Amino acid sequence: MTNFEEFNLHDSLLQAVHDLGYASPTPIQEAVIPHILAGKDVIAKAQTGSGKTAAFSLPALNLLTENPDKTILILTPTRELALQVCTELQKFSKHLDLTPSAVYGGEALSNQLRRLKKDNRVIVGTPGRLLDLFRSGHLRKFSPKLVVLDEADEMLNMGFLEDIQSIFSFLPSDRQTLLFSATISNQIKKIANNFQTDPLTCDVANSKQAHKDIHQIYHLIDERDRKDALIHMLKYHIPTKSIVFCNTKRQVEQLSKDLAKSGFFILSLHGDMTQKDRQNSIDYFRKSENTVLVATDVAGRGIDVADISHVFNVDLPTSSDGYTHRIGRTGRMGNKGTAVTFLSPHQISGLKRILSGKVAEIKFTEMPTAAEINSRQQKVFSQTLTKEAIHENASAILTGLQDALSLEEITLRLISLYWRKAGLSKNKNFAPPSKPTKRGKRSNERFSERKRRSDRFSERKTTRNKFSAKKANGDKFSDRKGSKKRFRKV
């Protein structure tokens, strides 16, 4: 199909699509929308950024244009994704007498109930909050005709299977159920068997299409050089907007501080932040440029921003699905993107395990030299300068400067000022990583750290043995503060 008119959607939806600038449907939209409009249950396998939100939102809203009394329920794994999906639904329904609502943990329940009282025909929510609303009776009369499980694989990874099963016990059996997922595991198939009726499977995440707009590379580094390697590559790529993924909240906090000290504009995102702070970070990230967002996997799952140019994996993700979802944050909606992964030598086998069974075009690349970074920065600076609009006061300022300096001196000083402020003169060459030892996956650094821990444990054990012996004999002993105590013999 070449346009959305061929789906025979309601005129109000076509107008909203036109207002958003959507020219033609994406492969996932073209594959599933006709079947959803026909009332069939669907299992759709599609990567993030493929347009899947519109793929289920448009036919779902079309159902309400024909049957205004019907209701729709959409389950998402995270608060951020619930808000994102709800925002998209609001855009598509702006010409309808309809107000989709999002329900999730972290916001006052009273606020959400107030919104649902005004209009509860379309609800987007996380499993935990939805289950609370069903059990408390607030959704007693809510009987959705269409149910969507968005990013079902991630909901399972986050341990929501029991909550999902409980939610479906409150839903009517006469319903249409749609399941969208980046991967189709055995658990996903089990859910489909339990909650869907003769579902139609649409797979547009085939090897030729998956991440075709993402340039995937990896660099080999020493374990201790991860932070410096990231700074090195941020200076080389000069991303317009990028996400740095870490495996833990502590790593996010520490790396955010280190990058900020190096002159980058940093935003953080992890699960322990308040909902308000998390949403503020996402909103600011969406509006700003030249920004680096440091995030954990779960927090980063709800980021649906089309113009993310780079994704950096400071740590190797723990699973194939994790890698898929991470790099899927870039190269969205036809845009080009780059995914960079940092590996120590002993992690190569882990990368092969993660990418097994997939045709992932990931290539090894040497770390650029300091000279290459300087050359690239100069090129980008030159391109930026030629595109910069001339300020109305620039001529007067230049005339004033020429009273004290020559035109050449002014130019050189301005370039030097920019170069120094941007920290572009502090590049260095990276040494190749150390070769793995015969210890296999255990690197020298890890081995040394474990040995130090073992030695400390042995010292404490020896101290406890001496303490126990003195206690048994009623001898005097010194505690850590140097005070004297006596044990009495019984």
For residue 193, tell me if it sits in a domain: yes
For residue 278, tell me if it sits in a domain: yes
Q: Are strands 176-181 and 122-125 parallel, antiparallel or unpaired?
A: unpaired
Question: CA 103, 105, 108, 111: dihedral to nearest 10 degrees?
Answer: 0
Q: Within 38-78, where are the H helices?
A: 52-66
Give every CB contact of residue 63 below 8 A, 6+ residues apart in sequence.
Answer: 70, 72, 145, 146
Q: Are residues 181 and 326 in the same domain?
A: no
Looking at 305, 334, 367, which one is the last position of a domain?
367
CA-CA-CA-CA torsion sign (226, 227, 232, 236): positive
pTM of the model: 0.64
Q: Are residues 229 and 192 in the same domain?
A: no
Per-residue pLDDT of the chain (490 residues; tens, 9 = 90+): 568 888 989 999 999 999 988 878 888 899 999 999 999 999 998 776 678 899 999 999 999 988 888 999 999 988 888 988 999 999 999 999 899 999 998 888 999 999 999 999 999 999 999 999 999 999 988 999 999 999 888 888 788 889 999 999 999 999 999 999 877 888 888 888 889 999 999 887 654 555 678 899 999 999 889 999 999 999 999 898 999 999 989 999 999 999 998 888 999 988 788 878 888 888 888 888 888 999 988 766 667 787 899 999 998 888 777 788 788 888 876 788 999 999 988 888 888 888 765 545 788 899 998 888 888 888 877 877 888 888 888 888 888 888 888 888 888 888 787 766 655 556 667 666 766 555 444 455 555 555 566 666 666 656 666 556 555 555 554 444 444 444 444 4
Question: What SS3 state is found at 430?
Answer: coil
For residue 451, tell me if it sits in a domain: no
For residue 476, tell me if it sits in a domain: no
- 426 vs 232: CA distance, rounded Å: 10
Q: Are residues 68 and 198 in the same domain?
A: yes
Give pLDDT, residue 207: 46
Beta-carbon count within 10 A of 146 CB: 22
For residue 430, tell me if it sits in a domain: no
Could you give the strand order of the β-sheet that contains 101-103, starting from the edge strand earlier in sequence? Answer: 101-103, 122-125, 72-75, 146-149, 176-181, 42-45, 200-203
- Among 31, 23, 19, 87, smallest CA distance to 59 is for 31
For residue 473, tell me if it sits in a domain: no
Q: How many domains does the chain have?
A: 3
Q: Are residues 360 and 385 in the same domain?
A: no
**Which of left, alpha, beta for 188 (phi over 0: left; psi -120 to 50: alpha)?**
alpha
Q: Are residues 16 and 160 in the same domain?
A: yes
* Amino acid code (one letter) for 283: D
Q: Are residues 30 and 173 in the same domain?
A: yes
Looking at 168, 203, 238, which one is the last position of a domain?
203
Q: Are residues 413 and 328 in the same domain?
A: no
Q: Are residues 36 and 181 in the same domain?
A: yes
Q: Are residues 143 and 251 in the same domain?
A: no
For residue 190, tell me if it sits in a domain: yes
Q: Which two tokens stand for residue 33?
A: 């929308």
Contact status, residue 243 vs residue 80, Cβ threshold 8 Å? no
Beta-carbon count within 10 A of 23 CB: 9
- 283 vs 288: CA distance, rounded Å: 9
- 17 vs 11: CA distance, rounded Å: 10
Looking at 173, 203, 233, which one is the last position of a domain?
203
CATH number at residue 220: 3.40.50.300
For residue 457, tell me if it sits in a domain: no
* Amino acid code (one letter) for 417: L
Q: Are residues 125 and 263 in the same domain?
A: no
Q: Are residues 182 and 313 in the same domain?
A: no
Please give the residue range of the domain that contains residue 409: 372-421
In b/e form, how buried is each residue of 175-189, taking b as 16+ CB within 10 angstroms? bbbbbbbbbbeeebe
Give pLDDT, residue 181: 86
φ, ψ (nearest 5 deg) of residue 339 = -115, 120
Burial of 453 (0-12, 13-18, 19+ CB in 10 A): exposed
Give pLDDT, residue 195: 92
DSSP for 156-216 reads HHTT-HHHHHHHHHTS-SS-EEEEEESS--HHHHHHHHHH-SSPEEEE---TTTTTTTEEE
Q: Are residues 195 and 220 in the same domain?
A: no
Beta-carbon count within 10 A of 466 CB: 11
DSSP for 244-284 reads EEESSHHHHHHHHHHHHHTT--EEEE-TTS-HHHHHHHHHH
